[in-house]
Amino acid sequence: MTTSVDLVVIGGGPAGCAAAVMATSVGMTVTLVDPGFQLGGALWRIPTIQNVLGGHSTGPDLAKAIIADVDRTHATVIQATAQAIHPSDQDVTVDLADGTMIVGRHAVIATGVRPAQPDDVDWLFAAAGTVLTPLWAADPAYADGATWQVLGADRPLGTFLRAHPDLDVRFEVLYPPADEYKTHEVRDDARVTLTRVERHSLDPDVASRSVDPGKAMIFANLGVMPATIQGTQPADDGYCPPDAQHARIHIGGDLRSARGQRIQTAMGSGAEAALSAYYASRRIT
């Protein structure tokens, strides 16, 4: 099946949703593609937010409001994974994982980031392809009285501790020197033991038990990697600078760079990406 629209938006987090809302507001036809069973992206993982205008104090609350905003538009939402994008002088063709394609005049790509895994970092040694449960997916229902090992000192650790101030959990955190500056946020919490390591080898048995969030005792907190798709023009670090892309591909949200990865910047840049597509399609410079 191939459909043709003014704008294909890939990724339904805050950036992609903002792009869809902005594009429909200026009269563009939009198809929004996201594999999740509901839109909102990383917002569903944020138990408390303090830096977003509008009065929402948790990520899920904001996600529900954004979904309602998208529902009020004429955007078509497709639950699918985009695998590749092929831009040409006339249009863009997006290949979906189920073998279908979508054709649009322009595309906004807002696929954000994914949790880094042992293969992505140089200080952890594990069997190739080892996948650990990310700390943001840890279920506090299993935490009471538990001791969990955390690999890496990225921000989700502080978020988890702030969201569950009374939880009786112990975190043994192994982190590389490069994460030193991130430890200040959790250093004073008595539930945390911080151990700086140059390198660490993962026990394969322990790692294999980490796939199920209910049974995991060890969690990845290694930062994030850009979730780009084939057909974009990534920089050396894997992120996709908006200025380096084909004229019909517009990038929004966390995928732009490792810096500025926040909800409001995602929404602003997603809306801006949609307007770039609109101006280009009207040849307005």
Contact with ligand FAD (CB under 6 A) among 24, 111, 221, 245: 111
Question: 228: Cβ–Cβ under 8 A, 6 or more apart, which residues?
Answer: 109, 111, 234, 238, 239, 240, 255
Nearest residue to 220 (alpha-carbon basis) of 146, 124, 142, 147: 124
Residue 14 touching ligand FAD (CB under 6 A): yes
Please identify, among the stretches 40-48, 69-77, 118-126, 188-196, the one whose residues bind ligand FAD according to the rule CB under 6 A: 40-48
CB nearer ligand FAD, residue 80 or residue 206? 80
How many CB atoms are located within 10 Å of the residue 39 CB?
A: 25
Cα 99 off chain centre by: 24
Contact with ligand FAD (CB under 6 A) among 7, 9, 13, 207: 13
- What is the C-alpha separation between 211 and 225, in angstroms, rounded? 19
CB nearer ligand FAD, residue 208 or residue 265? 265
CB nearer ligand FAD, residue 167 or residue 227? 227
Please identify, among the stretches 48-56, 68-76, 84-92, 170-178, the one whose residues bind ligand FAD according to the rule CB under 6 A: 48-56
Within 246-265, the residues that bind ligand FAD by CB under 6 A are: 253-254, 261-263
Residue 16 touching ligand FAD (CB under 6 A): yes
Nearest residue to 252 (alpha-carbon basis) of 63, 91, 21, 47: 21
Contact with ligand FAD (CB under 6 A) among 42, 85, 194, 207: 42
Please identify, among the stretches 9-17, 138-146, 215-223, 238-246, the one whose residues bind ligand FAD according to the rule CB under 6 A: 9-17
How many CB atoms are located within 10 Å of the residue 190 CB?
A: 6
Structure tokens at 185: 């946020």
